[in-house]
């Protein structure tokens, strides 16, 4: 399925532009690039993307492979190169580390972290996660060093506020992440030079909400808090889209 990702991405971005029934506010950034995190793929952004498209934004969803931080950053930059102007770059979970590294791209005008990792210069995501550990202990390595969230704990630790039938399939179809990606230090973190917004998921068991608050305060981000699981971008699409639109308008 991933081999069709570039074609699907292009088709979705074009459809987003043609189907728009509204227009963003004058002066707002019109392009939004969405980056998923570990144990997931881009399909989780559907609810958020539908809202943004309806409001007149052009949306692109990155299907990065989670094979290495470098590969994931390259995938994001490939999509950024397709944008016809400045973009809001949005990352969830591990996707936050990816946009921190990729966000220095000149096409990126603003950053949004949705329960996302936000490492500093020289800091790796794995070490940052250990500063204030998460409640979940269900992440397990495979024999070849990739990471899986135990399917039996997936709903409780990743998406407790989503229907059980949905999370059952999400657990079965989760994308494993190369554990080595969490050991790569960030260079030139984009949040130090780009305006930044962030969302704390207050019921998060995959990333400690206190760690989210620490990271976002350190970055001087504009922060909102939402009572939701780690999968807040799926369970609370209206609030997520609203924050992205704030970033697009610079509010």
For 1-15, write each residue's pLDDT tens digit. 344 444 344 444 444
Tell me the pLDDT band of 242, cut-offs 50, 70 and 90: very high
CB 187 within 8 A of CB 171: no
pLDDT interval class at 16 (50, 70, 90):
very low
Query: In angstroms, rounded to a whole number, what is the distance separating the alpha carbons of residues 110 and 90?
Result: 9
- Expressed as residue numbers, the domain containing 155 is 2-249
Residue 14 has a pLDDT of: 43
Q: pLDDT for 121-172, tens place per residue?
A: 999 999 999 999 999 999 999 999 999 999 999 999 999 999 999 999 999 9
- Mean pLDDT of the chain, nearest integer: 93
In this prediction, residue 18 carries a pLDDT of: 42
Mean pLDDT (whole number) for 92-116: 98
d(CA 47, CA 37): 16
Could you tell me the end-to-end alpha-carbon distance of the chain, in angstroms, rounded to an integer? 38
Q: What CATH number corresponds to the domain at position 177? A: 3.40.50.1820
> What is the pTM assigned to this prediction?
0.92
Please give the Cα distance from 107 to 187 (Å, whole number): 18
Query: Do the beta carbons of residue 97 and residue 126 sit within 8 Å?
Result: no
Q: Is the pLDDT of residue 105 over 80?
A: yes
The encoded tokens of residue 250 equal 């610079």
Q: How many domains does the chain have?
A: 1
What pLDDT, on a 0 to 100 scale, did the predictor assign at position 21?
56
Residue 50: the pLDDT is 98
**DSSP-assigned letter for residue 85:** S
| Strand partners of residue 91 | 35, 113
Of the pLDDT bands very low, low, confident and very high (cuts 50, 70, 90), residue 22 is confident
Length reported for the chain: 251
Reported as type and span, the H/E element at residue 87 is strand 87-92
Q: Is residue 228 pLDDT above 60, yes or no?
A: yes
């Amino acid at each position: 399925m991933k081999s069709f990702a570039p074609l699907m991405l292009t088709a979705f971005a074009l459809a987003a532009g043609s189907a728009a029934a509204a227009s963003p506010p004058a002066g707002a950034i019109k392009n939004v690039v969405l980056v998923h995190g570990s144990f997931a793929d881009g399909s989780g952004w559907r609810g958020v993307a539908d809202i943004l498209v309806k409001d007149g934004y052009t949306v692109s969803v990155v299907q990065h492979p989670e094979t290495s931080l470098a590969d994931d950053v390259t995938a994001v930059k490939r999509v950024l190169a397709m944008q016809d102007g400045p973009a809001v770059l949005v990352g969830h979970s591990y996707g936050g580390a990816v946009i921190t590294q990729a966000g220095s791209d000149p096409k990126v005008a603003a950053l949004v972290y949705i329960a996302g990792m936000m490492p500093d210069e020289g800091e790796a995501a794995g070490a940052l996660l250990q500063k204030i550990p998460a409640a979940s202990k269900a992440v397990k390595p495979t024999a070849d060093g990739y990471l899986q969230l135990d399917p039996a704990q997936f709903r409780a630790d990743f998406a407790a506020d989503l229907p059980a039938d949905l999370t059952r399939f999400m657990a079965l179809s989760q994308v494993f992440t190369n554990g080595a990606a969490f050991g790569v230090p960030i260079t030139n973190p984009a949040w130090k030079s780009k305006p930044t917004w962030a969302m704390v998921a207050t019921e998060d068991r995959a990333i400690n909400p206190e760690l989210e608050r620490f990271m976002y305060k350190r970055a001087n981000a504009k922060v909102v808090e939402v009572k939701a699981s780690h999968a807040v971008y799926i369970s609370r699409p209206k609030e997520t889209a609203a924050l992205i639109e704030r970033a697009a308008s610079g509010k």
